Amino acid sequence: MTAEPVTTTQPSSPAQAPPTVRASLSPSRAADFKTCPLLYRFRSIDRLPERTTMEQARGTLVHAVLERLFDLPAQGRTPAAAGDLVAPQWDRLVTEQPELAELFEGAEPTDPAEFLRSAAGLLEGYFAVEDPTRLEPAERESLISAVVDEELLIRGYLDRLDVAPDGALRVVDYKTGGAPREAFEARALFQLKFYALVLWRTRGVVPRVLRLLYLRDAEVLDYTPDADELVRFERTVVALWRAIEQATARQDFRPRPSRLCDWCSHQALCPTFGGTPPPFPVAAATADPLRDSRSAPVAPGADE
């Protein structure tokens, strides 16, 4: 399967938050609260460290390669060229984030060469579903933001935005995990609807397609939103923000057990697993309301 050609446009800079804005929310943090309020607290209020997993590092690497792939001339965007980008991009990531080198240490160290081969294998899945020689993305890894309800700044980083000759938008998100089970599919679509809402509010265009590319299984999931749906979704986002504010005022973030608990880094502190959360941070009441827990962009692939 290949995608239709698109034209290139310059990315728009997110507008400065107006003085009425008093909070910000990213799709990752909104999804955290929706999934489990206590997880939101651990990440956004306690800001507990989370060790990067091998899967997350692989996702970050694959995203970096796909971003750089489109720097090449169209006819040069071949599987071999993508493979040649893997090692240099990994070296760059380790230079920027030295802690990534620790992934290959421990009782059962992973072979770095095998790790790079596994990333190259995921890139083969990309070429199975899309032909990059026929694409000129309008934006890659770009920050977009909008104000909703006059007080809430919503923002996030797009993997890729395509703009067709007729002005239609297509939001593309790369997923390095397998094709989704229901819980993961819902979270992924929540993220893309978040982006669709921002684009609609800032550019006046409802994206024609929200596309998830599942590289491991070489599958494509397309979703077409409409304006009515985005109005309802905006109400959902605002309601989530108000629920977060209420939970913060009450210092009450309760766990919501689900299948996703198997991947949580904080089970030792969760009452569901016999743990006790740390004392609620006093600084939470005076924290910068525009600072999400990850005010810097989440590494691509880190939330997969």
Tally of CB atoms within 10 A around 292: 21
Residue pLDDT tens, the chain, 304 long: 334 433 333 334 444 666 788 899 999 999 999 999 999 999 999 999 988 889 999 999 999 999 999 999 999 999 999 999 999 999 999 999 998 988 887 656 678 899 999 999 999 999 999 999 999 999 999 999 999 999 999 999 999 999 999 999 999 999 997 665 555 667 788 999 999 999 999 999 999 999 999 999 999 999 999 999 999 999 999 999 999 999 999 999 999 999 889 989 999 999 999 999 999 997 654 444 455 443 344 444 444 4
pLDDT of residue 233: 96
pLDDT of residue 291: 53
Comparing CA positions, the residue from 249, 10, 199, 132 lying closest to residue 241 is: 249
Span(s) in the chain for CATH 3.90.320.10: 20-47+137-277
pLDDT of residue 68: 97
The identity of residue 210, as a single letter, is L
pLDDT of residue 2: 38
Pairing state between β 209-214 and 169-175: parallel
Task: Convert 147-172 to b/e letters by CB count within 10 Å (16 or more is b).
Answer: bbbeebbbbbbbbbbbbbeeeebbbb
Instruction: Please tell me the CATH code under which domain 20-47+137-277 is placed.
Output: 3.90.320.10
pLDDT of residue 238: 96
pLDDT of residue 220: 93
pLDDT of residue 161: 98
For 13-56, the pLDDT digits (tens) are 444 666 788 899 999 999 999 999 999 999 999 999 988 889 99
- The residues pairing with 152 across neighbouring beta strands, listed in sequence order, are 23, 148
